Amino acid sequence: MPKKKVSRKQLLKEPDEFISTTGKVLQFLRAHQKQIFLYGMVGLALLAAASAVYLYIHWQENKALAIQEQAYQLYQDAFRKAGNAEAEKENYRRALEKLREVRSVSRWGKAAEVSQLYIGNCHYALKEYDQAIAAYMRCLDGPFQSMARNGLGYCYEAKKDYAKAAENYQKNAGEKGNPYQEEGLLGVARCYEAQNQKQKALEAYQKALAENPKSPMAGFIQWKISELKG
């Protein structure tokens, strides 16, 4: 059935939908003007607070990175002074102080995470193995987990706790594509050797060679395999 046509005169008499809706909105705004103003002020305050927090965190991170750069320089200097035990030790201690300063300035962010790992490295270099273990343990849930496991392996190996050392090395060794997989396998092999488990050590060295036959360590690994085979 065709729709009934509405004349132009009738249309003009009817209220415009847009105008009616706009009028209702304006009435609502006038009736709730105070509440809307307060909500707006709260929103602006929250936005300002968020901006202030962001700027503060950004400032903290930049300050932490500047201190971290000083720590890295001291850490590198310690390597250059290898052979001079006192100078080397002094530089590691100074680097440690700077790394702790980074952590005091910024508890979150990349600078804090990297500094925590290097705190472990400094303690290890100073043969403070228990402190190094505590530092590495704090890195196990972060992006430097593989490096922390490797550090824990070296610490327990230095303490002659070969079971715990092998446990940490194995976690890296068992992960395909882990950049510390080969080092983990070699660590496991050393720990078995230290416990006079030659067959298990041989298997670990053979696996390391099979996983990466073109490794720079391939010559050393082949020599160890020949030695263990007798």
pLDDT digits (tens, 9 = 90+) for 35-83: 554 545 545 444 444 444 334 345 566 776 777 788 778 888 777 766 7
124, 51: one domain: yes
172, 134: one domain: no
Render pLDDT for 112-164 as a digit per residue (tens, 0 to 9).
888 899 999 999 999 999 999 999 999 998 889 999 999 999 999 999 999 99
59, 102: one domain: yes
Contact criterion met (CB below 8 Å) for 208 and 189: yes
pLDDT at 125: 93
> Is pLDDT larger for residue 41 or for residue 211?
211
Per-residue pLDDT band for 11 (boundaries 50, 70, 90) equals very low
- Residue 169 belongs to a domain: yes
- Residue 2 belongs to a domain: no
- Residue 97 belongs to a domain: yes
- Residue 14 belongs to a domain: no
180, 213: one domain: yes
Measure the CA–CA gap between 203 and 165, rounded to whole angstroms. Answer: 17
173, 210: one domain: yes
**Region of poorest pLDDT, from 4-13, 80-89, 90-99:** 4-13
Measure the CA–CA gap between 64 and 62, rounded to whole angstroms. Answer: 5
The helix/strand/coil state of 61 is helix
pLDDT at 164: 97
130, 157: one domain: no
> Is pLDDT larger for residue 205 or for residue 57?
205
pLDDT at 53: 39
pLDDT at 51: 45
